Structure 1
Amino acid sequence: MRKFVQICLTFCVAQSLFSQEVAQCKAPQCAAGSNVIIKAATEKNGDIQVTLVNCTSDTLVVFGGYSGKIRFNKEIQDNNGSWKPYDQESKYAYWCGTGLRSLTIPSNYCTRESYEQSRFKGSFKTKIRFSFVLDQKVVYSNPQTAMVNKKLLLTPEDRSINALKKDLKTPERLTKQQKDNYVNQVVLHRFSKGDHRQAYEDLKNYKSLLAPGEFRALELALLSKYVGAAKNLSRLERALLASKIIAVCERLIEVNYPRKKRVQQYRKFYTQHLLTAEEFQRMNPTSALYQLVVLKESRLTNTEVVLRFKAK
């Protein structure tokens, strides 16, 4: 263990020594009244040279990231002409923070970063631009033409979820614990993005990979999260969802789910959301109204919902 720590420390020190700032460059004459500008130009090899020019009268000190490289944000135009974040996985690997650098850019000086287009080349031809946030203001470069990989429009989280889905297509390679964890992450990720129906569909698609107790537990989590997040549910809709949650709780108790006490608490809590038979009758629900509510609830599931009533 001590030897491993020594190796790590040596690596970090070396990383710090060899992490140099981007060489400063003398900027061309700045236009009168200009501030900080970003210029982009495509080179013969297809790479794009991105230059940040300090046209202010002050010296700028900006965070340069690892190796003193400025980390410009990148955006591309989609098929509709809208600018979308173009998220790239860093090609730099650092084990500690000693490679971090700040850049000092005097007035009328600049610093550059080369965007290596070949590393991220794809089949989609579009415009790409670079930006940098300075004093809470976004400075954009002039756009350049680039061939990009549409997959890199995804956020790192979305890419991770897609990797999990790919692994779930060959479940024989996974342990039981991995299957449970992967399905949990995929389903709750979709839910967190507001796609409740698809989250429930994903859960049903992966049902065969989960033990009965794990499937019902995730179903319970999904339904209870939906009830907590939905602010515009009617009294009848809330009662329908409470009925389904109670049914899931009872199934979990039947299969001796380890966290039985917690499940019983859920059942007791959602019983309070049920209607009495008298309350239901006072709503004067027609068959059409009841079917409408069931269909609206199908945003989460196509399974028929049975309305339960509070005991007298």
Structure 2
Amino acid sequence: MITVVGEAVMDLVRSGQGETTAHPGGSPANVAVGLGRLSNDVALLTRLGPDTHGTRLARHLVGSGVALAAGAVDKHPTSTAIAHTDESGSATYEFAITWQLPDLEPDELLAGSACLHTGSIAATLEPGASTVRRLVERARGRRTVSYDPNCRPSLMGDPEQARTRIESLVASADVVKASDEDLGWLRPGQDVVDVAREWLALGPSLVVVTRGAAGAVGVCRAGTVEQRARRVAVADTVGAGDAFMAGLLDALHRRDLLGPDNADRLYGIDTGTLAELLDAASLVSAFTCTRPGANPPTAEELAAYRASVGAALP
């Protein structure tokens, strides 16, 4: 099982034409949904409010094959994010977030899990961030730990301080995924591949950087792999990075590279395997961009999409 820890948010997407539509979102919740729809056994530790948004999010998660951990609903309103999309479909966000977690034992929360995934607001916004960090510390060496900083500057404060917190989690993770926008905020002016290599030296087995239309790049100890982006008709890019993360974890699971028993194999992956992982993740992300909101494919939809586009990149 993969346990995902982090925020579930209702995205209120406002288009350039002034229209607003509501979509379930939140980076970790999106990852959990992506994994569930790809037929993975996945549980989400999150918080929801006792309101319409919370009810809709819970229905969306469970309907996508995600098990909600105990204590998910509390007395606070469900968190929301207003996503403004431009003509290219790219999104910027405004947040109304409450982030805290039930006081449960780490071993109870992680029982049966081969992998713990977390990131974004959940790993930086208190009081919940302290609980997330304790979970990561407990999981380290006992599960595969994956992390996506998915930076939200409006909530994370000073980038120098955020960088310290984020890089401490990078050092505790086995798999790290970031975007070029994340690294541009955290490490302005630095080449993203150089930053990925620096992060790899902190301890992860694999660091991947997504670069939008420029594709993705992954680094492991065997070398560096570039992945070109697939050309698609973009509805918007909401949830594209989360879909990539879900696709990456799904690909790692299908290659039996998750869990403590496979840690040495993950640490020593070759560039051929890395290329396969990036290709699988990019396919999930590309599909998600073809329809509005964070709406990743099911396993059946992905199989049909793969057949329609073929194995080769354009």
- TM-score of the two chains, using structure 2 as the length reference: 0.23
Larger RCO (CA under 8 A, 6+ residues apart):
2
